[in-house]
Chain A
Amino acid sequence: MILRLDNLTRSFGSLKAVDGVNLEVAQGEALGIIGPNGAGKSTLFNLVTGLLRPEAGSIWFDGRDITRAPPRVRCIAGIGRSFQIPHPFENLTVFENLLVAAIHGRRQREPQVVDACGDILEQTGLIAFANRRAGTLNLLGRKRLELARALAGAPRLLLLDEIAGGLTEAECAELVQLVQDINKSGMTIVWVEHVVHVLVAVVSRLAVLNFGRKIVEGEPRSVMASAEVREIYMGIAA
């Protein structure tokens, strides 16, 4: 197991945003997470990356207890993430954005990461935009850059937060292909996404959160057909 969450719990006031979640992610796996607004998906990511501290439970990455490690340490240990709303350094070029992420995410110097950054630009389809200011990219470009920045830290676990929304079908298909290729290269992926049919096409396992609790987990299509999912999303039993 590359990632294991044990009884992970975090409240905001009286609201249990994440409530006793147990989750295991195997090396190389692609796991999808869905749930209605407020189900705890983003809080879960913030706990795994260390932006929030849990009040109970533990987080294990690659056999190490990282429950109390600060975000920087987790990043260097190999946890990368994309954010739902990308905030690149708009006045830096695409390449410079990658350099910043690589230097800090790998704790290496610029000459050591230049080649890797070039490779990631190639992989994410951004090579032609390398010297463009990040602020001039369109939505698909910004989403590619968000992925590229997460990859620049050389993660072994990639957390993706809502990357498929707002795109045309053709753009969405491109982005999905990219995620699929990243996963095939051996990267472990945990992906939170509203666009369910896109998610199901890529992930091999799906977990459903509701009111902070993990409700059901398993093979994506059978999870989507389950009574629990129908109940949560449509308010009707199957």
Chain B
Amino acid sequence: MTVLETRELTAFYGDFQALFGITFALEEGETVAIIGANGAGKSTFLKAITGLLPRASAAVRLDGRDIGALPAFEIVKLGVALVPEGRRLFPSLSVEENLLVGAYGRRLDGPWTLATIYRLFPMLRERRNAPSTTLSGGQQQMVAIGRSLMSNPRILLCDELSLGLAPIVIRDIYAALTDIKARGTSVVLVEQDLVHAMSVADRAYCFMEGRVSLTGRPQDLSRDAIHAAYFGL
């Protein structure tokens, strides 16, 4: 069953057009990767879904219902949560306070609580009272993921989880993602790190200049096809 869908989604920054009609579907329980070079519109796509950018009302559907006219805080309540690029933690708050902020509009019928998030990332329990600014990049990313999970989302949108992290930390983060998937959460993964994204994705979309340039299952996409879809060459 399709849980999230966009139809000919467009997005603008002023009169700069960033998305030129993205048609996209996410099935229940599925993990979809969105790949592409910088400037392709990947982050913009997540912002348009979550109501951080204006978009046409019928262009975004959740369970078949138009959510394109809803503001971001209503979309969170419907079970769509974003892990933003660069973590964007609240610097004045502790680890636990950051997590609790994520419980805004929390749905009650999900698996995620402070306790289950601390089980997923034991490191965060140890540092629960530490200011979020004193954490390493990898720990901050864990807080950002945990904060999004606190709303018990059905759909988790992740923007560049691996950005700026050491390979060993990226491995830990992706291991956690496997646990999150196992709880039935549907995941959209925006990544420049192709290897990791493809290792967990059921399907992938490649974006180029605000358009879908390639889509398919990772095992069906050759490197040459991906290369062509990245650069239009």
Number of cross-chain contacts by CB at 8 Å: 60
Within 8 A of B (CB), among A213-238: 221, 224-225, 230, 233-236, 238
Inter-subunit contact A166/B18 (CB<8 Å): yes
| Interface residue B233 (Cβ < 8 Å from any Cβ of A) | yes
B227 at interface by CB-CB < 8 Å: yes
B233 touches A165 (CB 8 A): no
Are B16 and A139 in contact (CB-based, < 8 A)? yes
Chain A residues within 8 Å of B209, by CB = 165, 195
In the bound complex, what is the Cα–Cα distance between A166 and B10 (angstroms)? 12
How many Å lie between the Cα of A168 and that of B192 in the bound state? 24
Which A residues lie within 8 Å of B13 (CB)?
A: 166
Is residue B178 within 8 Å, beta carbon to beta carbon, of the partner chain? no
| Binary A-proximity of B1-21 (CB < 8 A = 1, otherwise 0) | 000000000000111111010
Chain B nearest Cβ from A209, distance in angstroms: 12
Indicate with 1 or 0, residue by residue over B197-233, a CB within 8 angstroms of chain A CB atoms: 0000000000001000000000000010011001111
Tell me if A238 and B231 are in contact (CB < 8 A).
no
Is B165 positioned at the interface, with any CB of A under 8 Å from its CB? no
**Nearest-CB distance from B182 to chain A (Å)?**
25
Is A52 part of the binding interface, using a Cβ–Cβ cutoff of 8 Å? no
Q: What residues of chain B lie closer than 8 Å to A225, measured between beta carbons?
A: 227
Q: Is the CB of B16 within 8 A of A224?
A: no
- Pairwise interchain contact B194-A196, C-beta atoms closer than 8 A: no
**Number of interface residues, chain B, beta carbon within 8 A:** 24
A234–B226 CB distance below 8 A? yes
Indicate whether A194 reaches chain B with its CB closer than 8 angstroms.
yes
Contact yes or no, A236 B17, CB < 8 A: no
Specify which chain B residues have a CB less than 8 angstroms from the CB of A196 in the assembled complex. Answer: 37, 230-233
**A167-B233 contact given A234-B226, A236-B223, CB 8 Å threshold:** no
Quick one: given A37-B38, A196-B37, are A224 and B231 in contact (CB under 8 Å)?
yes
Query: Could you list which residues of chain A lie within 8 angstroms of chain B, going by C-beta atoms?
Result: 36-37, 138-139, 165-168, 194-197, 200, 221, 224-225, 230, 233-236, 238
Which positions in B face A, CB cutoff 8 Å? 13-18, 20, 35, 37-39, 192-196, 209, 223, 226-227, 230-233
A-B contact pairs, 19 of them (CB 8 A): A36-B37, A138-B15, A165-B209, A194-B39, A195-B39, A195-B209, A196-B230, A196-B231, A197-B232, A197-B233, A200-B231, A200-B233, A224-B231, A224-B233, A230-B223, A230-B227, A234-B194, A234-B223, A235-B192
